[in-house]
Structures are given as structure tokens and as C-alpha cells.
């Protein structure tokens, strides 16, 4: 199971990587929104965990891009955000799931399980 | 006798001739009397009617025969005239009057009449007054028409002066108004009853980038695009001027205007009907440019949103690490370290809730809280919340009484926030109690919820400010309960936005019950 985590906060990247590595997942951490698309194409992950509000790039835009291209549109995208109205924003962007920060590890794992291929 | 009979007319002849002459003169006199417009009467020296002409009789309201032999002042009593008549009789000098008023007591309908009249004494050779001739000419119409003309002239003059005064005042007002109109920083448009702008002040031209006078309202909202704060276009019906032209006053609305150059302004628009004698003859629209304060407000909103996001980010990391450590300890609840981590986790939840509250308050104030209208099982929600509480609360038992059937419409997350807030308050403010009661029931088409604690209670003073922002309850015993005083304010805003009511009953030392009601919407409401 390969998970790509995209977040511009390095603390979050680190902690999510620990959580998922503990589960035996392969984790690719991306800290720059602009590198997200390229990394996803390159790694072909089973699921993408994506922050919304990043410097330089909006998570919604990345989601739209992923969902509009044939080779990436089937990859489940889960939005992880500390913004308010995450649900609404995630739905608008066309993401498959969402989780508000701060989150419980158990909720994150349930969500990944539910959406991974 | 013969001496007389041939040359001189006999006495008899003389008498006959005289009689004939008198009769002829009498006829002439009669003819004159009857053919003059004057009302003529011959009175004897005691003012008894001897002879009257027809005009006199008609005018007097009596028949000729009714007048003859009657006393003038018996029929037409008038003190002043009687004195005049007596004087004429005494002095033997006639009198003449012009436009002398007289009121016929026997003909009250005629009102006040006016007369040119003469009273001429008839005297014998010795100068003794034998009687008098009264001659009357009715000049009532002349007097009245004169009076009327005079009255009219006076009135016209008064009105002219009044109109002149009004014109001066109107000019002054107009000039004042013009100054205000031009100097007003608010944009002001006056519409005629057909909704066409008839005047607009310079502030309007500045705001729109063009002069709206002569353009239709449709073209105005097309030329400078009117939008709601959320971005959707404003329709004609939503324009306050539309309501005003129908005689209605609507609350002020915020619109975002983009002029032809792309410049954006936030305006507060209000409109008032202009009425004359209860009829709408136009409307006035005032647009107050609030762009600056709106920008400040927006910056504040952005700041709060950013701050809340930035505060939540490190909390996310800390919370995740806490949970990683807990997992590493394999969930051994007896392990001291595990329990400390559990406490840390709970405190982090509180911190998260507080950050959320601050963000919520800001959104309430900005009127930006959008509630969802979703169908959900309220009963199940209450059960879930109680279950969650019970998992982490050992001190209190939370007892649920009653239930409601079926689903309701509302914002599940927000209503859940209210319940969590009320139950956690109940626990917090009843440290030595063992239970909290949650009552759910349907009552007269309302969903009624009560959360009852058996704690310290709230003083009357504090009850009044419970739902106000930043209000905190003091126990009076120097005890302090944590919180920034936003929880109940947020609850009340959420309930109000659901068209519900929230209140509390409390007795110090006995406990407090919070109630709220919501209209039971079983169907999706139209918004």
C-alpha cells in the first residue's frame, strides 16, 4: 500500500509518515504543492492525503487536476485540513473523503481503509 | 246764483273738476309708484301705512291690504330706524342713507339686506308734518358682490404673498437640499414612479462610474454589476428600490458593486418610498459605501481564519504524537504514562474546541455562518453524544428521558455542538453531583430539550447575561470555572438561526436546567 502525503507543514508530514509507516504502508511525503502532481504521476499511489491550504498551491486545484485526468482520476483523494467547512470544500473540489485537523489516528486509518483500492 | 253760473264754474263744477284732477293725478302717482324700481310707502305722521306700491309690498313679505292701516314699526320693529323716523317727523327734514343694513325679522332667510333709502316728510302749508314718503332701493347684491370681490381680492393677495413666501422658502430648501445632495458622501438616487432615475448626486456618479439619470434600473444593475456578498447576482426583485416603488420599506442590504472599470465597492443599500397623499410617487435609494470598513472586516475575518488554521496545525501534530505514544503503549489503561497521555489528548480537544469557538464567534458576527438543512435522527444524535460523554466521564451518570420519533431537519453538527456544550456545562458546574438529566420530547409541534444539572446554580443577575458574548459565571465563592464565555453565546446563536429558543432556569445551590426548543421540521424547508 502506497500513500502520498502532501502538506506544507513538515511537522504534520513527519507525524503522518510515522503513523502510516507503523501500519506498514509505504509513504511518500511531499511538502510542496507544486510538486504534488508530478510525484503522483511518478509514484502511482493507492491513495493521496492532501492538505487544502498550502503556500503557492491550493489543494482544491490539485484535486481538480487529478480528477480531470484519466491516468489519475481513479486515485482516491482524501483532504486533510485545519480550515473550517472542510467537508464542503472537499466536496466542491471533488475529493473522495475528508478529515478535519486535528484528527484522531483511528479516524485517519478508518478513512484510508475505506477509500484505498 | 245765475251770476255765478254763466261766467264762473259752479262750486259743484269746480269740485267735480278738482275731483277728476285729483283722480287723474292719483292715477299718475299710482303709475309712477308702480313703475319705479324703488319700494315706496307713504306713512302718516304716526307711521301707519297709507299707501304702498306693489314693489314695496312684495319686498315686505306682506300683501298691500295687509300693510295699509298698520304701523310700520309694529310690522318691522327696529329701534334705530324708529329713532330716525321720529327725528324726521320732529325736524321736518328728510334723511338719506346709503347701503344701510336691515334684517327682516319676518323673512329671516334673506339674511342681512342692504338699502339705499330716503325718508321725506310731507308737510302742510304750516310746515306741520302730515306724513312721510319712504323710498327703498335694494342694494344687497351690490354690497354682497362688492364684499365678495373685496374678500376675493384680499384672499388672492394673501395667497399671492403666501405663495411668494413658499417660493422663497422652497428655493431656500431646494438650495439647502442641493448642497446636501451634492455634498453627501452617500450615493443618492431619486426615482420617479415609473422607476426611472430623475436625479443622482455626484457620489452616485463616482460609485457607478456613470450618471444613472435617464437609464432604466435594469441597465444600471447591468452596467455596474450588483452582487450579493456570496457572489450571486442581484435580481431586480431584490433591489430595495423595487420594494420602495411598491410602497414597501425593506431592511438595508449589502451589495458588491463592480463598476465598468472593474473597481469593486461594498455598499449598504436602502430605499424609501416617496409619497404624496399616501400615493407612491417615486423612491429614493441611498447607497452607503462601506468598502473601507468591509475591507477591514474582511481582513479581520481572514486573520481569524488564518490564525485558527495556524493554531490548529501544531495541535494536529501534538495530538498525533500523543496518540502515537498511546498506541506504542498498546492501550494499557493502567499504565500511568498512558493515562497522562489520555489527559493530554483531552486537553488538546478542549484547545481545538476553543479555537473553533473563536472562529465561530467571528463568523456569527460577520453573518457568515451557513447552516445546513439536513435530515437526521435527533434521538440517535442525543444517544451518540451521551455515549461519548459517558465513555470519558466517570463522575456523572447522564440519564436520557423521553424521545422524539422520526427525523428532523437542521444542521446536525451545529445542534450536536449545542448539546455537547450544554452537557459539558452541566457536568462542569455540578462538581459534587452524580447525574445530569437530558430530557427530549415533542411539545406542541416543537422539539423540546432540557439539560438539567444538580449543581451550584446561577444567580439571577448571571442568568440575565448567560447568553451574551464573553459572559462568565462567577460562583461568588472565589471559585473559577475555565472558559472564555463563548459557549452559550454560540449555542444561542445556533438555536436562534434554527428559529428556536433557548433559556435557562436556575436556583442557586439547587442546580440549573437549560432548555431549548426547535420548530419540528419534518420536511425540507424552502430557503
pLDDT tens sequence across A4-48: 999 999 999 999 999 999 999 999 999 988 889 899 999 999 999
pLDDT given for residue B480 in this prediction: 52
State the CB neighbour count (10 A cutoff) for residue B368.
Answer: 12
B40/B136 Cα distance (integer angstroms): 6
Residue among B327, B348, B363 minimizing CB distance to A102: B348
3-class secondary structure, B169: helix
Place of cell 416543537: B446
Chain A residue with CA closest to B414: the answer is A85
Q: Are B419 and B406 in contact (CB under 8 A)?
A: no
pLDDT given for residue A101 in this prediction: 94
Instruction: Please give the interface size between A and B, counted as residue pairs whose CB atoms are below 8 Å apart.
Output: 56
Instruction: Tell me the per-residue pLDDT of B225-265, one tens digit each, with 9 for 90 and over.
Output: 888 877 888 888 888 889 899 998 888 888 988 887 888 88
Chain A residue with CA closest to B311: the answer is A82
A102 interfacial to chain B (CB closer than 8 Å): yes
The chain B residues in contact with chain A (CB within 8 A) are 305, 308-309, 312-321, 323-324, 327, 348, 352, 356, 359, 363, 370
Chain A residue with CA closest to B346: the answer is A104
Neighbouring residues of B195: CB distance < 8 A, sequence distance ≥ 6:
B216, B217, B241, B242, B245, B283
The alpha-carbon gap from A73 to the nearest alpha carbon of chain B, in Å, equals 28
pLDDT given for residue A54 in this prediction: 84
Task: Look up the pTM and report it.
Answer: 0.57
Per-residue burial over B485-499, b if 16 or more Cβ lie within 10 Å, else e, is: ebbbbbbbbbbeebe
Q: What is the ipTM for the molecules in this complex?
A: 0.93
Burial of B235 (0-12, 13-18, 19+ CB in 10 A): exposed
∠ CA B76-B78-B81 to the nearest 5 degrees? 105
What Cα–Cα distance (Å) separates residue B81 from each residue in A43, B61, B73, B138, B237? Answer: 133, 18, 9, 16, 80
Which of the four pLDDT bands, split at 50, 70 and 90, describes residue B362?
confident
CA B422 to chain centre: 43
Averaged pLDDT, B64-84: 90
B287/B294 Cα distance (integer angstroms): 14
B476/B459 Cα distance (integer angstroms): 9
Q: Are B192 and B223 in contact (CB under 8 A)?
A: no
pLDDT given for residue B48 in this prediction: 94
pLDDT given for residue A114 in this prediction: 93
pLDDT at B314 over 90: yes
User: DSSP secondary structure string, B205-233?
Assistant: HHHHSS--TTS-HHHHHHHTEEE-TTSPB
Which of the four pLDDT bands, split at 50, 70 and 90, describes residue B451?
very high
pLDDT given for residue B475 in this prediction: 56
pLDDT given for residue B302 in this prediction: 85
Among B464, B469, B477, B474, residue whose Cα is nearest residue B503: B464
pLDDT at B127 over 70: yes
- What is the dihedral angle through the alpha carbons of B127, B131, B135, B136, rounded to the nearest 10 degrees? 130
- Which chain B residues have a beta carbon less than 8 Å from that of A16? 320
Which of the four pLDDT bands, split at 50, 70 and 90, describes residue B522?
low
pLDDT at A117 over 60: no
Residue among B309, B320, B356 minimizing CB distance to A15: B320
Chain A residue with CA closest to B350: the answer is A102
The alpha-carbon gap from B316 to the nearest alpha carbon of chain A, in Å, equals 4
pLDDT given for residue B49 in this prediction: 94
Averaged pLDDT, B519-525: 68
User: DSSP secondary structure string, B485-500?
Assistant: S-HHHHHHHHHHHTT-
Q: Are A40 and A3 in contact (CB under 8 A)?
A: no
pLDDT given for residue A63 in this prediction: 93
Among A116, A108, A99, A102, residue whose Cα is nearest residue A20: A108
Q: Are A13 and A7 in contact (CB under 8 A)?
A: yes
Instruction: Tell me the per-residue pLDDT of B29-42, one tens digit each, with 9 for 90 and over.
Output: 778 778 877 889 99
Number of C-alpha atoms within 13 angstroms, CB side, residue A42?
Answer: 8
Which of the four pLDDT bands, split at 50, 70 and 90, describes residue B1?
very low
Element (H, E) at B97: strand B95-103
Residue among B317, B327, B363 minimizing CB distance to A12: B317
Interface test with B, best of A82, A88, A107 (most B CBs within 10 A): A82
- Which chain B residues have a beta carbon less than 8 Å from that of A31? none
Share of chain B above pLDDT 90, in %: 31
A24 interfacial to chain B (CB closer than 8 Å): no
Interface test with A, best of B304, B312, B320, B357 (most A CBs within 10 A): B320
The average confidence (pLDDT) of chain B is: 86
Contact B316/A101, CB-based, under 8 Å? yes
Interface test with A, best of B312, B316, B318 (most A CBs within 10 A): B316
pLDDT given for residue B525 in this prediction: 54
Instruction: Tell me the per-residue pLDDT of A44-83, one tens digit each, with 9 for 90 and over.
Output: 999 999 999 887 788 999 999 999 999 899 999 999 999 8
Amino acid at each position: 500500500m502506497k500513500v502520498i502525503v502532501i502538506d506544507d507543514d513538515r511537522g504534520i508530514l513527519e507525524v503522518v509518515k510515522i503513523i502510516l509507516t507503523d501500519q506498514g504502508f509505504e509513504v511518500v511525503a511531499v511538502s510542496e504543492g507544486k510538486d504534488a502532481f508530478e510525484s503522483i504521476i511518478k509514484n502511482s499511489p493507492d491513495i493521496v492525503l492532501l492538505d487544502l491550504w498550502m503556500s503557492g498551491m491550493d489543494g482544491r486545484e490539485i484535486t481538480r487536476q487529478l480528477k480531470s485526468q484519466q491516468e489519475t482520476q481513479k486515485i482516491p483523494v482524501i483532504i486533510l485540513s485545519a480550515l473550517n467547512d472542510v467537508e464542503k470544500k472537499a466536496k466542491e473540489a471533488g475529493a473522495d473523503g475528508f478529515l478535519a485537523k486535528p484528527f484522531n489516528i483511528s479516524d485517519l486509518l478508518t478513512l484510508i481503509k475505506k477509500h484505498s483500492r | 246764483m245765475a251770476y255765478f253760473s254763466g261766467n264762473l264754474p259752479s262750486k259743484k263744477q269746480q269740485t267735480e273738476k278738482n275731483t277728476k284732477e285729483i283722480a287723474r293725478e292719483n292715477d299718475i302717482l299710482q303709475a309712477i309708484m308702480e313703475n319705479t324700481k324703488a319700494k315706496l310707502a307713504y306713512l302718516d305722521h304716526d307711521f301707519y301705512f297709507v299707501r304702498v306700491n306693489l314693489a314695496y309690498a312684495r319686498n315686505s313679505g306682506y300683501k298691500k291690504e295687509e300693510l295699509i292701516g298698520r304701523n310700520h314699526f309694529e310690522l318691522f320693529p327696529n329701534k334705530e330706524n324708529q329713532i330716525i323716523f321720529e327725528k324726521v317727523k320732529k325736524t321736518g327734514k328728510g334723511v338719506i342713507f346709503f347701503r344701510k343694513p336691515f334684517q327682516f325679522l319676518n323673512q329671516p332667510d334673506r339674511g342681512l339686506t342692504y338699502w339705499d333709502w330716503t325718508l321725506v316728510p310731507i308737510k302742510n302749508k304750516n310746515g306741520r308734518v302730515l306724513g312721510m314718503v319712504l323710498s327703498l332701493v335694494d342694494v344687497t347684491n351690490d354690497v354682497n358682490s362688492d364684499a365678495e370681490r373685496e374678500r376675493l381680492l384680499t384672499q388672492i393677495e394673501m395667497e399671492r404673498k403666501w405663495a411668494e413666501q413658499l417660493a422663497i422658502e422652497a428655493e431656500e430648501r431646494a438650495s439647502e437640499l442641493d448642497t446636501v445632495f451634492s455634498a453627501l458622501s452617500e450615493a443618492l438616487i431619486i426615482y420617479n414612479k415609473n422607476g426611472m432615475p430623475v436625479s443622482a448626486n455626484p457620489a452616485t456618479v463616482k460609485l457607478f462610474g456613470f450618471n444613472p439619470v435617464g437609464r432604466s434600473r435594469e441597465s444600471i444593475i447591468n452596467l455596474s454589476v450588483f452582487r450579493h456578498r456570496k457572489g450571486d447576482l442581484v435580481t431586480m426583485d431584490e433591489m430595495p428600490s423595487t420594494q420602495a416603488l411598491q410602497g414597501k420599506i425593506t431592511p438595508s442590504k449589502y451589495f458588491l458593486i463592480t463598476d465598468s472599470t472593474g473597481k469593486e465597492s461594498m455598499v449598504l443599500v436602502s430605499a424609501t418610498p416617496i409619497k404624496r397623499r399616501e400615493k407612491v410617487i417615486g423612491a429614493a435609494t441611498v447607497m452607503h459605501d462601506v468598502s473601507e470598513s468591509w475591507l477591514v472586516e474582511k481582513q479581520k475575518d481572514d486573520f481569524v481564519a488564518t490564525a485558527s488554521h495556524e493554531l490548529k496545525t501544531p495541535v494536529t501534530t501534538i495530538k498525533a504524537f500523543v496518540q502515537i505514544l498511546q498506541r506504542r503503549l498498546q492501550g494499557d489503561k493502567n499504565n500511568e504514562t498512558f493515562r497522562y497521555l489520555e489527559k493530554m489528548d483531552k486537553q488538546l480537544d478542549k484547545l481545538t474546541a476553543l479555537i473553533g469557538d473563536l472562529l465561530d464567534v467571528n463568523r456569527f458576527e460577520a453573518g457568515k455562518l451557513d447552516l445546513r438543512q439536513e435530515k437526521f435522527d435527533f434521538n440517535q444524535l442525543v444517544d451518540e453524544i451521551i455515549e461519548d460523554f459517558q465513555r470519558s466521564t466517570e463522575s456523572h451518570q447522564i440519564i436520557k428521558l423521553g424521545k422524539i420519533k422520526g427525523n428532523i431537519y437542521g444542521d446536525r453538527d451545529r445542534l450536536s455542538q449545542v448539546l455537547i456544550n450544554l452537557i459539558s456545562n452541566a457536568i462542569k458546574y455540578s462538581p459534587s453531583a452524580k447525574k445530569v438529566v437530558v430530557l427530549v420530547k415533542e411539545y406542541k409541534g416543537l422539539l423540546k430539550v432540557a439539560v438539567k444539572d444538580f449543581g451550584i446554580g446561577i444567580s439571577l443577575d448571571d442568568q440575565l447575561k448567560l447568553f451574551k458574548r464573553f459572559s462568565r459565571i462567577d460562583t461568588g465563592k472565589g471559585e473559577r470555572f475555565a472558559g472564555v464565555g463563548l459557549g452559550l453565546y454560540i449555542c444561542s446563536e445556533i438555536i436562534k438561526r434554527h428559529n428556536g429558543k433557548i433559556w435557562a432556569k436556575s436556583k442557586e445551590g439547587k442546580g440549573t436546567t437549560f432548555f431549548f426548543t426547535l420548530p419540528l421540521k419534518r420536511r425540507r424547508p424552502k430557503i
